[in-house]
Structure 1
Amino acid sequence: MPESFTETFAAGLASYGQQPCLEFEGRWYTGEEITAYGHAIEQALRNAGVPDRAPVGLVVRNRLPHASAIIGFLAAGRPVSMIYSFQSPEAIARDIGALALAGLVADREDWTAPVLDAARTAGSAAVAISTGEPVEMLRRDPDRQHAEAEPEVALYILTSGTTGPPKRQAIKTPVLERTVFSVTSGEKAAADAPPELAYWQFGGIGVCQLIAGVYNGRRITMLERFTVEGYVNAVKTHRIKRSGVQPAVIRMLLDADVAERDLASLDFLISASGPLDPETRDEFEQRYGIPIVLAYGATEFAGSLCAWTPDLQQEFGAAKRHSVGRALPDTQLRIVDPDTGAELGCGEQGLLEAKVAPIGADWIRTTDIASIDADGFVTLHGRADGAINRGGFKVLPETVRRVLISHPAVRDACVVGVPDKRLGQVPFAAIEVAPGASAPSDDELADLVRRDLPVYNVPVAFTVVDALPRNPALKVSLPAVAALYTAR
């Protein structure tokens, strides 16, 4: 009988033994140390009255104790539900009340009064983690009903919250197996390979890097959050050969004028989680000589839907430069009309739907507008859920943004819909100005859009900001941009 995901994951963790497993803040921790801390958390939960394998919540940070908790829970077969730590204490408390879990684990600094009160009200056990031993803060109330484990569900991860409140997605163990495949392309790294670089937020899709690393017994170097200095130091120190990055990271590396020698070990970068401007891609590749390939995935699939292989890159890379690749072997993709659901033909734009074997037999509709060419390559064209209905005319924010950033003085831009009494919604744009450049006038920007697009695409107002508001996943926060309009 094939081993289950839990058994294989636990075996991957055991394979480290006294060898390095995780690096954090300049120190390597062995597999035995990671395992011991995970066991200590389990024991603290058990002492606090939480049944084995009962779902628990983790107020997650990209820190060593939290990584150890995630690894330990997955190896023990205990479902874990992520709770974002970057929320206000009151928002964390609301999550705790809604989840009604038997146990909760959080960093000492996150056990604020509102969070403790919420755990007490829910009758949940509370365990504090830090650099020392886990500490029981509240015992579970045995008279309270708490959420039970769902069949096969190992993990509940969160969307990045770009367009609104983050959504929680249940990920089953068969899906985690495809997660490992999508992160590694099915390749097992050699024993002396550079470590996996993990800095994406563990509360969401970023946890996939951690899972894939342990599953394959590969060393992992962690950053609590992305900084140019931390990222470059990790690449330079460990001679990282490939790295998945958000588009914002590529822009930050260019703006920081990182020395070519500091990134010289990179064979390529994989850009995911949002659109990468062709101009930024060209600038980076010309500056560093490091190819960037595009990939596409989503939280609900816990990994990629399509990607490039080295063979595809060699054959089609130049001709299909703007594609995110072909569907993975376990995935079928199609394009449908958003209104009728009818499948569209080759090259036509519509909503992307996916059928992923480990998830089920149903087609799952995404909110991404895409097209598929005759060779099966997918190209993304924006998001349907961000479309602005301006008095019956559809405005696609990414289309308007692409025009705005073509202005030499515009470093980046974001376009969102804001309420309008007469038209329902109208577009509004926030603009980041390029370093050393003067901000273009509103009239200049409006004329730029008007020259390239129908007049209904022209934003009703523009505002210049030092930096677009971003969430911890380095995605622009659309609600925060919309708030800039009402604050004008």
Structure 2
Amino acid sequence: MRLIQAGSALRLRAGLRPRRVVLTDAHGELTARELQDIATLLRGRGDRAPRLTDLPADAPLRQVLATALASDGALDLRSSGSTGDPHLQHRGPLTPAQLRTLLDLARRIGLRPGVRIASAAPGVHGHGLLVALGALALGAPLVDLTHLRPAARVRLLRDTAPRILTGVPVHLADVLTADQARCEGRPLRIARVVSGSDVLAPDLRADLARHFRARVHDVYGTTETGSLTVDGRPLRGVRIREQHGLLHVRSPFTGARELVTDRGSVDARGRVVVTGRADGAVSSGGMLHHPKAVARLLAGHPGVAGVRLRLVDDQRYGTRTVAEVTVADTVDDSGTPGVEELRALVRDRLGAAAVPREVVLVSGPAPGDPDLSSPDGSPAPR
């Protein structure tokens, strides 16, 4: 049995209250009827329904929502790679078991009809998409903070006064720092702050709670398994066990399969503690990617002679990737790839999360350097 489609939920909501504001962003307010009209226009373009994987990494939430709704509930997402190589996942309408898990998540973080929620998580990322579709289905007004500068995020938060703020820890830290600098003794009041997609440091959690006078929640999950825990407690329908330091997960989104997600432990009271990744992926501001897969893809471009990927410490993101690409010798410049072409290649094949934060073109390999290196400098397979 299949239950609830996002498109059906919006059409019902638009029919009952077409003027109800479903989203506020830097461009203003968007009503249910307006969003439905945009989705209808997208469905009428071309022979193929629009897909989320076609969207750029900086797509605003109104574009993400319209694209998701135009697909009539069937979504193509790129997996995070937590349980294997990144690949496209086809998600249809929610089953009753999946809906029960998501409703438990909404209850625990205080999301219910009419409660305004501000999201700083990109909509093409699993975290941001879940928040956007969940808010829409519940009738919770959404505030789009994505891709805004920290000061602009604070201004929009003050204008909209949401009860819940969610995002990746780096986004939450940006909002905190910006409000501390501009609040003039009158900090924002946010009842709940919800962190996900990356490790929430204890110091940041304490600072968020103190400054916003908020209850702070730490949500753990993956694209493959869906949300799994809130503050270490498994959601309804989720089963997690530890074996040899690895977390084995079964959830309504995995069906009958049990998947290994990350390194961690489960204490005597059933509380789950995640201690690290088990798949070799790198998290940069909550966005996951596999450096070796990126290096192999770039090295396969006909205009590329070699690739070296380096992981660099970054104060804001924790880690960032730098791709040093050696271009192949050609008769003319027609075969020489540009930086944006290489970034687009990675985005299209491996997803927005995999795009290196820096791509540097070099004219020739340094003496003694391998043509293709893994992040630790050892030769990686072609």
TM-score by length of structure 2 reads: 0.65
Q: Per-residue displacement from partner, 1:173-219 (whole Å, max 9, x unpaired)?
A: 2266357426523766354x3x2223322222111112112212222
- State the partner residue of 1:379: 273
Q: C-alpha distance in 1, partners of 2:62/2:107?
A: 28
Question: Identity of counterpart residues, as a percentage?
Answer: 19
Contact 1:12/1:214 (8 A) holds in 2: no
Q: Per-residue displacement from partner, 1:191-250 (whole Å, max 9, x unpaired)?
A: 4x3x22233222221111121122122222223414312322232222122222212124
Change (3 A) 1:358 1:178: farther
Change (3 A) 1:470 1:178: farther
- State the partner residue of 2:125: 204
Match of 2:152 among 212, 217, 230: 230
1:329 aligns with 2:240: no
Contact 1:174/1:359 (8 A) holds in 2: no
Contact 1:37/1:68 (8 A) holds in 2: no
Query: For structure 1, which segment, 370-379 or 199-208, has the greater mean C-alpha deviation from structure 2 after superposition?
Result: 199-208
Q: C-alpha distance in 2, partners of 1:287/1:215?
A: 31
If asked which structure has higher relative contact order (CA below 8 Å, sep 6+), I would say: 2
Q: C-alpha distance in 1, partners of 2:83/2:225?
A: 18
Q: Cα distance, 1:380 vs. partner?
A: 1.0
* Structure 1 gaps, min length 5: 78-153, 308-323, 338-349, 388-396, 399-415, 419-427, 435-465
Match of 1:58 among 49, 54, 57: 54
Change (3 A) 1:258 1:272: farther
Q: Cα distance, 1:17 vs. partner?
A: 0.6
Q: How does 1:100-139 map to 2 (within 5 A)?
A: none
Q: Cα distance, 1:378 vs. partner?
A: 0.7
Match of 1:305 among 204, 215, 228: 228
Q: Per-residue displacement from partner, 1:59-85 (whole Å, max 9, x unpaired)?
A: 2443366235324325x34xxxxxxxx
Q: How does 1:35-434 map to 2 (within 5 A)?
A: 35-45=36-46, 49-50=47-48, 58-60=54-56, 61-63=58-60, 66-74=63-71, 76-77=72-73, 154-159=74-79, 167-174=87-94, 177=99, 180-181=102-103, 184-185=106-107, 189-191=112-114, 193=115, 195-205=116-126, 206-256=128-178, 257-259=180-182, 263-302=187-226, 304-307=227-230, 324-337=231-244, 350-357=245-252, 359-366=254-261, 368-386=262-280, 430-432=312-314
Change (3 A) 1:374 1:476: farther
Classify the secondary structure of the residue corresponding to 1:385. Answer: coil
Q: C-alpha distance in 2, partners of 1:479/1:29?
A: 32
Q: Cα distance, 1:54 vs. partner?
A: 9.4
User: Partner letter of residue 238 of structure 2?
Assistant: T
Q: C-alpha distance in 1, partners of 2:142/2:220?
A: 23
1:33 aligns with 2:34: yes
Q: C-alpha distance in 2, partners of 1:429/1:37?
A: 40
Q: Cα distance, 1:305 vs. partner?
A: 0.4
Q: C-alpha distance in 2, partners of 1:353/1:476?
A: 25
Q: How does 1:16-31 map to 2 (within 5 A)?
A: 16-31=17-32
Q: C-alpha distance in 2, partners of 1:476/1:158?
A: 11
Q: C-alpha distance in 1, partners of 2:81/2:154?
A: 27
Q: Cα distance, 1:362 vs. partner?
A: 2.0
Q: Cα distance, 1:480 vs. partner?
A: 6.4
Q: Cα distance, 1:42 vs. partner?
A: 1.6
User: Partner letter of residue 184 of structure 1?
Assistant: A
Q: Cα distance, 1:273 vs. partner?
A: 0.9
- State the partner residue of 1:456: none
Q: C-alpha distance in 2, partners of 1:204/1:63?
A: 12
Q: Cα distance, 1:155 vs. partner?
A: 1.0
Classify the secondary structure of the residue corresponding to 1:174. Answer: coil
- State the partner residue of 1:469: 320
Classify the secondary structure of the residue corresponding to 2:229. Answer: strand
Change (3 A) 1:8 1:467: closer
Classify the secondary structure of the residue corresponding to 1:18. Answer: coil
Tell me the matched-pair count: 306
Q: C-alpha distance in 1, partners of 2:222/2:39?
A: 28
* Structure 2 gaps, min length 5: 284-289, 293-309, 323-346, 360-372, 378-382
Q: C-alpha distance in 1, partners of 2:258/2:22?
A: 38
Classify the secondary structure of the residue corresponding to 1:375. Answer: coil
Q: C-alpha distance in 1, partners of 2:248/2:22?
A: 38
Instruction: Please tell me whether Structure 1 or Structure 2 has the larger radius of gyration of its CA atoms.
Output: 1
User: Partner letter of residue 301 of structure 1?
Assistant: T
Q: Per-residue displacement from partner, 1:5-31 (whole Å, max 9, x unpaired)?
A: 354454244443122222232411221
User: Partner letter of residue 363 of structure 1?
Assistant: E
Q: Cα distance, 1:377 vs. partner?
A: 0.7
Q: C-alpha distance in 2, partners of 1:251/1:475?
A: 20
- State the partner residue of 2:362: none
Q: Per-residue displacement from partner, 1:45-68 (whole Å, max 9, x unpaired)?
A: 3xxx44xx7978632443366235
Q: Per-residue displacement from partner, 1:344-391 (whole Å, max 9, x unpaired)?
A: xxxxxx11111113541221221x11111111111111112239xxxx
Change (3 A) 1:275 1:27: same
Contact 1:296/1:306 (8 A) holds in 2: yes
Contact 1:336/1:353 (8 A) holds in 2: yes
Contact 1:18/1:31 (8 A) holds in 2: yes
Q: Cα distance, 1:335 vs. partner?
A: 0.8
User: Partner letter of residue 69 of structure 1?
Assistant: A
